[in-house]
Amino acid sequence: MTQTHKRPAVKRITAARRRLHDLVDELPPGEVRSASRYLQFLRDMTDPVLQAIRAAPEDEEPVTEEDMQAIEEGDRDARAGRLIPQGEAKRRLVGTP
């Protein structure tokens, strides 16, 4: 496919993104949070990590004492602010740049 065949599609996407930004700018203040959550939902629909989690079978094993200690350690780390940003966690799990 030549470069000239790709340009109209790119222009349409760019125009659509500009229109989407305009729509967001025009939202009433009370609807911004709902729109943000919906856009995050749409984005997450293609996230391979979230898809894998949703598709995983339910764990039927009982929670062990070791599991509970690990959960409590994670909770303590979260409360102390020792967190890994989502993008970094995704890179570590999926290996994406």
* Tens digits of residue pLDDT in 31-50: 999 999 999 888 888 888 88
* Tens digits of residue pLDDT in 54-97: 888 888 889 999 999 999 999 999 999 999 888 888 888 887 66
**HEC assignment per residue over 56-83:** CCCCCCCCCHHHHHHHHHHHHHHHCCCC
Structure-block tokens of residue 78: 């979260």
CB 53 within 8 A of CB 97: no
Residue spans per domain, the chain: 1-46, 48-54+64-97
The pTM score is 0.42
How far apart CA 49 and CA 79 sit, in angstroms, is 24
78 vs 4, higher pLDDT = 78
Mean pLDDT of 5-33: 85
Backbone angles phi and psi of 40, in degrees to 5: -65, -40
Q: In the predicted model, is pLDDT for residue 22 greater than 80?
A: yes
